[in-house]
């Protein structure tokens, strides 16, 4: 699905999204930088021919992907990355606190072990990757005419990462599962969840000037993105928890 001149929705499952690829896939965004593509998140790695078909339908090959940036280590975002890295020979990035778990396919740290036979199929495997570069607060990734700056948001997982940069004239924030439209969040009863650090990080994000908000699930918006982040931050600052992400199934 083409979203703007150079941003495409390469995958999105029906459980929390548009239903164009496997039902467990998060929203995967493909950015054409003029010198190859950046992939934001990689989906669950199931029925991958569906995502490949979407990418091909827009005239791209997997080998056009030069960098994969993973917002966090959950299986529905990260488990598709290893296959693409092998096919494209591309660099992979993740939040520094989660990079090793992704590289090692650590099913305990990533909570995939808890979800097997439930959210994920019983035979689901978290694949290993190589050379996953860890990013810290303020680090940047540049390819072609796109530079994305990383912000760390511990809360939904050990340390989610959101990415901020200008693309096609819009100030864009790719949020993974840190915040969704209408200020929704997804707080699960998992060992790496934290609330107060989440609230503090969201307050920092609320200071950003954001046009387009591209979350890891559900709809995206192309203008007034700041409003959605501020809504989540305001709920946290009032001492409460923002509303949970809607769920289709």
Residue the block writes with tokens 């989906």 = 43
22 binds Zn ion, rule: CB under 5 A: no
Which residue lies nearer to Zn ion by CB, 177 or 192? 177
Q: Are strands 37-40 and 28-32 parallel, antiparallel or unpaired?
A: antiparallel
- Other C-beta atoms closer than 10 Å to the C-beta of 38 total 28
Q: How far is the CB of 229 from Zn ion (least distance, A)?
A: 17
Q: How far is the CB of 225 from Zn ion (least distance, A)?
A: 20
CB–CB of 183/231 below 8 Å?
yes
Which residue lies nearer to Zn ion by CB, 67 or 74? 74
Give the Cα separation of 110 and 218 in Å (integer). Answer: 22
Q: How far is the CB of 1 from Zn ion (least distance, A)?
A: 21
Q: How far is the CB of 75 from Zn ion (least distance, A)?
A: 8
Q: How far is the CB of 232 from Zn ion (least distance, A)?
A: 15
Which residue lies nearer to Zn ion by CB, 58 or 116? 116
For the chain, the C-alpha Rg in angstroms (whole number) is 16
Length of the chain: 249
The residue count for binding Zn ion (CB under 5 A) is: 2
Which residue lies nearer to Zn ion by CB, 32 or 177? 177
3-state secondary structure of 166: strand
**Contacts (CB under 5 A) with Zn ion, residues 129-188:** 177
Q: How far is the CB of 73 from Zn ion (least distance, A)?
A: 8
Which residue lies nearer to Zn ion by CB, 63 or 244? 244
Q: Spell out the long-range contacts of 15-21 with Cβ–Cβ below 8 A and sequence spacing 24 or more.
A: 15/247, 15/248, 15/249, 16/217, 16/218, 16/245, 16/246, 16/247, 16/248, 17/217, 17/218, 20/50, 20/54, 21/47, 21/50, 21/51, 21/54
Which residue lies nearer to Zn ion by CB, 25 or 177? 177
**Contacts (CB under 5 A) with Zn ion, residues 48-107:** 74
DSSP letter for 106, please. -
Contact set with Zn ion (CB under 5 A): 74, 177
């Amino acid at each position: 699905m083409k979203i703007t001149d150079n941003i495409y929705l390469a995958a999105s499952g029906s459980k929390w999204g548009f239903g164009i690829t496997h039902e467990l896939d998060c929203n995967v965004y493909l950015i054409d930088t003029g010198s190859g593509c950046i992939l934001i998140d990689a989906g669950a790695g199931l029925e991958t021919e569906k995502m490949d078909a979407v990418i091909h339908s827009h005239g791209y090959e997997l080998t056009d992907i030069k960098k994969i940036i993973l917002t966090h280590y959950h299986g529905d975002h990260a488990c598709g990355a290893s296959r693409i890295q092998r096919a494209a020979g591309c660099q992979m990035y993740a939040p520094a606190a989660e990079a090793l778990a992704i590289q090692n396919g650590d099913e305990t740290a990533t909570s995939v072990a808890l979800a097997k036979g439930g959210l994920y199929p019983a035979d689901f495997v978290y694949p290993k990757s190589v050379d996953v570069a860890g990013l810290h607060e303020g680090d940047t990734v540049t390819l072609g005419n796109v530079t994305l700056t990383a912000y760390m948001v511990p809360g939904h997982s050990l340390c989610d990462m959101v990415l901020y940069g200008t693309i096609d004239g819009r100030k864009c924030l790719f949020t993974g599962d840190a915040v969704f439209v209408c200020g929704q969040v997804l707080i699960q009863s998992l060992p790496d969840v934290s609330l107060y650090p989440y609230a503090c990080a969201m307050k920092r994000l609320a200071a950003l000037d954001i046009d387009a908000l591209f979350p890891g699930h559900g709809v995206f918006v192309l203008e007034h993105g700041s409003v959605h982040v501020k809504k989540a931050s305001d709920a946290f600052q009032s001492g409460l928890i923002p509303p949970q992400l809607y769920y289709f199934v």
